[in-house]
């Protein structure tokens, strides 16, 4: 739905994202820091550059997300997605606060990392099914392929690893404690994103 409303469908085969949508909703340091537009830490994840960008993210999200949701339940799954999104935005702003970033890759990387940790903690071997290799290949591609937000990918990956460790311990600690940790991780991602946005005058990298 977001794609339909933010793209010029006559240009569907190419870079069809409307400029006003990019300007108003992308994850970008200056508006977050100076205009208080904190919601950009979330809205950028719902924008995609073109149909290929959207399909690649959604296919990965569906395949890995379904696998993760079966093991931890829908509520915790949503919390992991939201937290990975915030950590991905924070990573993107840390790496390039003066670049408008769009895409759900931070969420996808967070889900990918969470699946690995949750399955490992439950006694399974995700490496035997190629998940570990998939993560390594995608991280390498983040540095090799131009135009990719390295910070967004790595930020989402870090958030997902922490969430996966928390969710994977559900059998060992009370559910209330799991939710407290997840909320703290989400809030930490938000604070990190706001702090990173303030580096737009003097980028860290």
- What pLDDT score does 177 carry? 85
Please give the pLDDT value at position 87. 98
Per-residue pLDDT for the chain (205 aa), expressed as one digit of tens each? Answer: 899 899 988 888 778 899 999 999 999 999 999 999 999 999 999 999 999 999 999 999 999 999 999 989 999 999 999 999 999 999 999 999 999 999 999 999 999 999 999 988 888 887 777 788 888 988 898 888 888 899 999 999 999 999 999 988 655 667 788 899 999 999 999 999 999 999 998 887 7
How confident is the model at residue 15, as a pLDDT?
80
Q: What is the pLDDT of residue 8?
A: 86
pLDDT at 55: 93
Let me know if 23 is exposed, middle or buried by CB neighbors in 10 A (0-12, 13-18, 19+). exposed
Residues 6+ apart with CB under 8 A from 181: 166
What does the alpha-carbon distance between residue 80 and residue 74 come to, in Å, rounded to a whole number?
A: 10
Joined tokens for residue 139: 């991280």
Q: Is the pTM of this model over 0.85?
A: yes
What gap in Å lies between CA 141 and CA 145, rounded to an integer?
6
Beta bridge partners of 17: 7
**Region class of 98: left (phi > 0), else alpha (psi between -120 and 50), else beta:** alpha
């Amino acid at each position: 739905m977001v794609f339909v409303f933010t793209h010029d469908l006559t240009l569907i085969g190419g870079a069809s994202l409307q400029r006003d949508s990019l300007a108003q909703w992308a994850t970008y340091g200056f508006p977050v820091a100076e205009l208080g537009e904190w919601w950009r830490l979330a809205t950028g994840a719902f924008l995609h550059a073109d149909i290929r960008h959207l399909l690649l993210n959604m296919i990965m999200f569906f395949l890995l997300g379904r696998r993760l949701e079966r093991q931890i339940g829908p509520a915790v799954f949503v919390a992991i997605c939201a937290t990975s999104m915030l950590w991905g935005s924070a990573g993107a702003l840390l790496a390039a606060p003066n670049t408008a970033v769009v895409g759900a890759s931070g969420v996808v990387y967070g889900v990918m990392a969470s699946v690995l940790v949750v399955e490992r903690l439950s006694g399974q071997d995700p490496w035997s099914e190629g998940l570990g290799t998939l993560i390594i290949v995608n991280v390498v591609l983040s540095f090799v392929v131009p135009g990719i937000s390295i910070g967004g990918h790595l930020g989402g990956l870090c958030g997902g690893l922490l969430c996966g460790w928390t969710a994977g311990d559900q059998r060992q600690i009370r559910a209330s404690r799991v939710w407290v940790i997840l909320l703290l991780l989400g809030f930490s991602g938000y604070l990190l994103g706001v702090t990173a946005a303030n580096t737009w005058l003097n980028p860290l990298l």
